[in-house]
Structure 1
Amino acid sequence: MTADSSVTEPIAAAETTTIAADIAIVGAGLAGSLAAAVLARAGQRVALVDKRAVPPDEFRVEKIGGHQLEMFRRLGFIDALAAAGCQYDRVPNVREGKVVDVSVGRAYGLPYADLVAMARSQLPDPSSLIVDEVAAITASDDVQHLVLASGRRIDARLVVLATGMAGALGYKLGIRRRVLAGRHSVSFGFTIARRDGAPFDFEALTCYGERTSDGVDYLSLFPVRGGMRANLFMFRDPTDPVMRDLRRDTEATLLRLLPGLQSFLGDFRVTDRVQNWVMDLSVVEGHLQPGLVLIGDAFQTNCPAAGTGVARLLVDVERLCTEYAPRWLATAGMGAEKISQFYADADKIAADQQSLKMARFRQALTSRNDIGWDVRRRLHFLRRSITHRVDQMRPGWLAQVRSALRA
């Protein structure tokens, strides 16, 4: 965590030299804030440390839907999410100017800063958020000691690193990040509106890439309170000139990459700053240590196009905070043998593996141009189109089949 001179002074325990806690969580992004809220609601003494009092305006997670909603519900955050987000329920999926199928199901769009603010608002005691920087951590089989930039200290039985891809603290502890696929994907985020001020003819829309040479997986359009948000996901060299074109002349470049999109958008414009993110696929090593556990991106990164990052994060939070941490705290010690139970959890391992599997699948489906993947790509969209048409002729047929398969 890097020092930031623009943040406010620490808001908790300002006159205390040493703060005592059951669990210290470093990083109050989505993972850390949700974990802190779950643990604090269960009666644990939590110290949540972050250098910023207000979540930064970062281009990260901007929509929540599908199975993620059930996980938010189980953790007790669904009402707060619904209040903070912009709801939508129907998403036409198009390719080459034609509707492939329509996704139906509740989802919410909201900026990442609002999502984090929602999570922080669920803390029973706001003073458990300590605005400061963790300078050092000393881990042991018993009590963990954290030194803050302000000179204060935190003593806790367990430390949770939820620092995302920031690796300075982990590096000091001997934790290294192994890159599985460098510059795996590129994502762009921006907001659009029609030039005539009229609303779009859809509440949300997904447009898939048309040519493997373009490296476009899909463009996702969905509502947020500030307008229609656009997330573009690509598998392409980040130094390619098209990346500059997308930042400087977004409208024209977008239609050049996705010509079938024109009939759906009409005459539109970008209304805010174009943000972009280059993502490596990576996983940490040397992380099994006493008194210390890593969650979310601090443990393994994700491909944004695969849409598995939030699900992985929620699995980490749910398994650690409802299963392992309470059990660990109920007995003496916090050795590596306890910590290893979390990393060996079947649900966590499955979520981590599924995330990597989907990252590789999305890249291959988008970019591979050999005959095998060309056939697979055609069959993928053909199967979706046929299923959609049958479901239109016999409404409810698809839901019945899925229900029978689950039985």
Structure 2
Amino acid sequence: MEPPLTVGAWTMTADSTVTEPIAAAATTTTFADIAIVGGGLAGSLAASVLARAGHRVALVDKRAVYPDEFRVEKIGGQQLEMLRRLGFIRSLASVACPYDRVLNVREGKVVDVSVGQAYGLPYAGLVAMARGQIPDPSSLIVDEVTAMTCSDDVQHLELASGRRLNARLVVLATGMAGALGYKLGIRRRVLAAGHSVSFGFTIARRDGAPFDFKALTYYGERTSDGVDYLSLFPVPTGMRANLFMFRDPADPVMRDLRRDTEATVLRLLPGLQPYLGDFRVTDRVRNWVMDLSVVEGHLQPGIVLIGDAFQTNCPAAGTGVARLLVDVERLCTEYAPRWLATGGMGIEKISEFYSDRDKIAADQQSLKMARFRQALTSRDDIGWDVRRRLHFLRRSITHRVDQMRPGWLAQVRSALRA
């Protein structure tokens, strides 16, 4: 891969992954095939995939090392297959905690058991893993984009340091930070304000013994509590707990969860105690209120939005990373290489990505699951009460049948697929 071509003066810091300008950097202009703005998971994965394919990539982010934050991810199922296709599976396995069995519990009883390879790790660890796969460390420019002009030909970016960056295509992967998009006339339409509330923290047994499970999901017991589920899974620092709720963010229970986490969790999920024993929270309790939103006015020449920059997700639905991976895979393996092979970068090219069937399906499924999880958790009318009971009864019966006749369920599913 050729690195981005730079005209001007540069210096390398002690951290070889960071490229910083010296005093003459105001005259520096960098040329790249693709400029990726935002170095979170979407941007870092895209930069790695495109750079390894031989494209000149410039990844712009104001942080040399992505900071620790609220999000801690569990990666499994179809997400692993997509990461395998994109070439990240070995790197993921080397930095994450593996597990292959999840107890799913409600009202103190095991509903079923999920079996399959999965991994747990902090979001910042995922980002570091993706950035570590970029062939040329100088592709990461630690700076901030302050202005951008886009056209059918070349895109011009101005950076806070005074540097300039020219590229044929800009990938906007800035997450929910919409200031740069706003300057381009891109607006965010809120579909559901305060849709869900998530809490995250790490737990351990007070006696220092390991828990009796590899991973556990405990579903809410009462609609009035607004608890969807508590997800427990291993990460490098211990046992992670992600609690997902559909409840007013101003409700006093939010304060209780921050101040007296152990007692409040057990009050909301009384059947959980036998599975945890005497436990304690070992780190800071963080929470996040999520709005569901999509962008408008995004179809413009020379620029494409991916991940949360295009549409946000409900954390409880578990579709965020999967959606992001679809965006990265379709853009970076199908569309961007083909667009770069011919002149121009007009909206007729950009629209191909937004019209992609896989992308549309992933976006729609994400919103559908967000609304389904909310209704399944908190709707108390007779229709949803019956649906909720049938949902868990069906899972429980299927699990018991599979216990009595191991492999039978897999055979039925295989026959149905055939």
Work out whether the TM-score is over 0.5. yes
Deviation at 1:116, TM superposition (A): 0.6
Contact kept, 8 Å, 1:9 with 1:131, in 2: the verdict is: no
Whole-Å separation in 2 of the counterparts to 1:32 and 1:10: 16
Cα distance between partner residues in 2 of 1:277 and 1:387: 35
Equivalent residue for 1:92? 103
Instruction: Indicate the SS of the match to 2:304.
Output: strand
**Distance apart, 1:9 and its partner CA:** 11
Structure 2 equivalent of residue 222 of structure 1: 233
* Residues 92-138 of structure 1 deviation map (CA, whole Å, 9 limit, x = unaligned): 10000000000000000001111110010010111101100110111
Q: Would you say 1:279 and 2:286 are equivalent positions? A: no
How far 1:406 sits from its partner (Å)? Answer: 1.6
Out of 265, 274, 279, the position equivalent to 1:263 is: 274
The aligned residue for residue 367 of structure 1 is: 378
Indicate the residue corresponding to 1:306 in structure 2. Answer: 317
User: What residue identity is the alignment partner of 2:21?
Assistant: A
Q: Distance in 2 between matches of 1:162 and 1:171?
A: 14
The corresponding residue for 2:161 is 150
Measured in 2, the distance between the counterparts of 1:393 and 1:352 equals 38
1:209 aligns with 220
1:69-88 mapped onto 2 (5 Å cutoff): 69-88=80-99
CA distance in 1, matches of 2:412, 2:52: 39
Equivalent position of 1:126 in the other structure: 137
SS at match of 1:359: helix
Q: Tell me the residue number matched to 2:59.
A: 48
Residue equivalent to 2:338:
327
Q: SS of 1:62's equivalent?
A: strand
Match of 2:50 in 1: 39
Structure 2 counterpart of 1:41, one-letter code: R
**C-alpha distance in 1 between matches for 2:157 and 2:29:** 9
The secondary structure found in structure 1 opposite 2:337 is helix
SS in 2 for 1:186: strand
Shift of 1:12: 2.8
Match of 2:121 among 88, 110, 123: 110
- Length-normalised TM-score, structure 2: 0.94
Quickly say closer, same or farther: Cα 1:238–1:9, change in 2 above 3 A. Answer: farther
- Aligned CA RMSD, in angstroms, stands at 1.2
Displacement of 1:405 after TM fit? 1.7
Kindly state the Cα deviation for residue 397 of structure 1 after the two structures are TM-superposed.
1.0
Instruction: Say whether 1:397 aligns with 2:405.
Output: no
Task: Identify the residue that residue 341 of structure 1 maps to in structure 2.
Answer: 352
Which position in structure 2 is the counterpart of 1:11? 18
Give the letter aligned to residue 183 of structure 1. Answer: G
Counterpart of 2:336 in structure 1: which amino acid? A
CA contact (8 A) 1:26 1:163 kept: yes
In 1, Cα distance between the equivalents of 2:401 and 2:365?
A: 29
Q: Is the 8 A contact 1:10 1:132 kept in 2?
A: no
Cα pair 1:161 1:294 within 8 Å, conserved: yes
Q: How many correspondences in the alignment? A: 400
Q: Residue 181 of structure 1: SS of its match in structure 2?
A: strand
> Conserved in 2, the CA contact under 8 Å of 1:9 and 1:132?
no
1-side partners of 2:71 and 2:347: how far apart? 32
Tell me the TM-score normalized by structure 1.
0.97
> How far apart, in 1, do the equivalents of 2:271 and 2:72 lie?
26
Query: What letter matches 2:407 in structure 1?
Result: G
For structure 2, the residue ranges without an aligned partner over 5 or more in a row are 1-14
The code of the aligned residue for 1:66 comes to G
Report the secondary structure of 1:101's partner residue: strand
**What is residue 253 of structure 1 aligned with on the other side?**
264
Given the alignment, which residue of 164, 178, 196 partners 2:189?
178
1:378 aligns with 2:386: no
In structure 1, C-alpha distance between the alignment counterparts of 2:102 and 2:17, rounded to whole Å: 43
Q: Percent identity?
A: 87
Instruction: Read off the aligned partner of 2:290 and give its amino acid letter.
Output: M
Task: Return the alpha-carbon distance in structure 2 between the equivalents of residues 66 and 220 of structure 1.
Answer: 16
